[in-house]
Structure formats: C-alpha cells, structure tokens
A = this chain, B = another copy of it.
Amino acid sequence: MSVKKRSVKPVRRSLAKIRKDNSDQILKVAERLFSDKGYSGTTISAIAKEAGLPKANVLYYFHTKDALYKRVLSNILSIWMLSMNDMTEDQHPRDALRSYIVKKIRQSKEHPHASRIFAAEILHGAPYLREQLETDLKEQFQATCQVFRHWISKQWMDPVNPEHLMFMLWSSTQAYADFQVQSSIMLSKTELDDQDFNEGADLLVRLVLKGCGINQV
C-alpha cells in the first residue's frame, strides 16, 4: 500500500494534460454509467460526481449530454469496426470463423460496458447510430457475406444462409457481454471467469464449424 498523497497540494499540470486527463476520466465514467443505467437514466450530475468534478465542469468539456453520449458511442463504434473486417476469402473458414468468434468473445469480456451501450442503442431503434449502421456497418456486413458465399462456392462449407449466419455469430458472441448478469446467475457465480468465456467460445466454434460442415483439423 502506498501512502503517497495526491491532490492535497495540487500539482502544476500543463493545460494539455489537464484537458486530456479530465475528458478521459469523464468519458470513462460516462461509459460505465450509460451502460448501467441507459441514456435517460444517467444524469450529468451523477457523471460529474463519480468523476470527482463539478457538474458545470463536465459541461465545459462536453457542451451537452447528447454530445457526450455521441462521443462515447463513436469511440465504441470505432473499436467495433476494427474486429469486424478481418474475415477474408483467402482464409479458410475453419481459421477465420474460429478467430472471429474468439476475438468477439474476448471483446465482450474486455469491453462489457461498450458492448452493452451498443446493444441498448440498437434495442431502442438505433436513434443515434442508424446512419452509421446503414453505411459503414452494412458495407462490412455485405462484404463478409460475400466472403461466406465464396467459401460456399469453393465447397469449404455447406450452403448456409450467409446473412443469418452473421446474425447468429453476432448475437451469440455479443451475449457474453449483454447478458453476463443472467449467465452468471444461471451458473451461480458473481461474475464469469476466463474459463467460462473459453468454454463459450469453444462451444460456439464447434457449433458453427460442424454446423456449417467445415471439417475441423
């Protein structure tokens, strides 16, 4: 245990650092609260309180609650898109699908709050994300479906419906973040551990590969 005192005599910080520290802290707290309570259930005062700042200071950095929420969302989406587009047609589906599932479940484990905000957005009709879903995400979705069709034409997998396979992959991996509370209740645990995530990934990989007639090595 360190007994080093902080913030008793405020250290002189550069403006750049002050700005970065505070907005990072606000974004971090906001992500957790938006995830736990939803947009309407989260108040600026609550964010300010947990971030250790006066409410007016939060509004100094993010002029409106809306703007803050949009910033949180866009941060999330950029992380999201990255892990989406790494299934390519020159890979074998055996490897591509496995690593996709593993990566997605790891993301659910490591960024549960982000994942849940995303889910809540869509659950409520995607009022803020609709445009980006219609452009960026849809583009990636269709590209990935093309990859599936390519694999099917090469007879690397059964002729399954590509779109619905994507939906299944998305929802069943996403669930390890969104429904973590329910899962841990069912398993009589306070929270899921690494083994649970691994077992989930194993089951999904098995189901998808075998289910699509992809011969596992």
Nearest 10 CB-CB pairings of A with B = A171-B175, A207-B211, A211-B211, A40-B41, A40-B40, A164-B203, A210-B211, A38-B38, A141-B186, A122-B182
Closest chain B residue, CB of each to CB of A186: B141
Taking residues whose C-beta sits less than 8 angstroms from the other chain, chain A's interface range is: 35 or more
Query: Which residues does chain B contribute within 8 Å of A187, judged by CB atoms?
Result: 163
Contact B185–A138 (Cβ < 8 Å): yes
Contact B37–A124 (Cβ < 8 Å): yes
Number of copies: 2
Question: How long is the Cα–Cα vector from A182 to B161 in the complex, in angstroms?
Answer: 17
Q: Tell me which of B39, B174, B200 contacts A41 (CB under 8 A).
A: B39
Cross-chain pairs A/B with CB under 8 angstroms, 8 sampled: A41-B41, A123-B178, A163-B186, A167-B200, A168-B204, A168-B207, A171-B178, A210-B211
User: Within 8 Å of chain B (Cβ to Cβ): is A202?
Assistant: yes
Closest chain B residue, CB of each to CB of A43: B40
User: Within 8 Å of chain B (Cβ to Cβ): is A61?
Assistant: no
Query: Which residues does chain B contribute within 8 Å of A176, judged by CB atoms?
Result: 167
Contact A186–B138 (Cβ < 8 Å): yes
Q: Does more than half of chain A's interface fall in helix, strand or loop, or is it mixed? A: helix
Chain A, 155-175, CB within 8 A of any chain B CB: 158, 160-161, 163-168, 170-172, 174-175
Binds B, one of A13-21, A50-58, A86-94, A125-133: A125-133
Question: How long is the Cα–Cα vector from A187 to B137 in the complex, in angstroms?
Answer: 12
Q: Tell me which of B37, B172, B181 contacts A122 (CB under 8 A).
A: B181
Nearest-Cβ distance from residue A65 to partner chain B, whole angstroms: 13
Question: How long is the Cα–Cα vector from A141 to B179 in the complex, in angstroms?
Answer: 14
Q: Tell me which of B116, B133, B165, B203 contacts A160 (CB under 8 A).
A: B203
User: Within 8 Å of chain B (Cβ to Cβ): is A212?
Assistant: yes
Contact B161–A168 (Cβ < 8 Å): no
Further pairs besides A116-B124, A133-B182, A167-B200: 12, Cβ < 8 Å: A41-B41, A119-B179, A122-B178, A122-B181, A137-B186, A138-B188, A161-B203, A163-B186, A165-B207, A166-B186, A171-B172, A171-B174
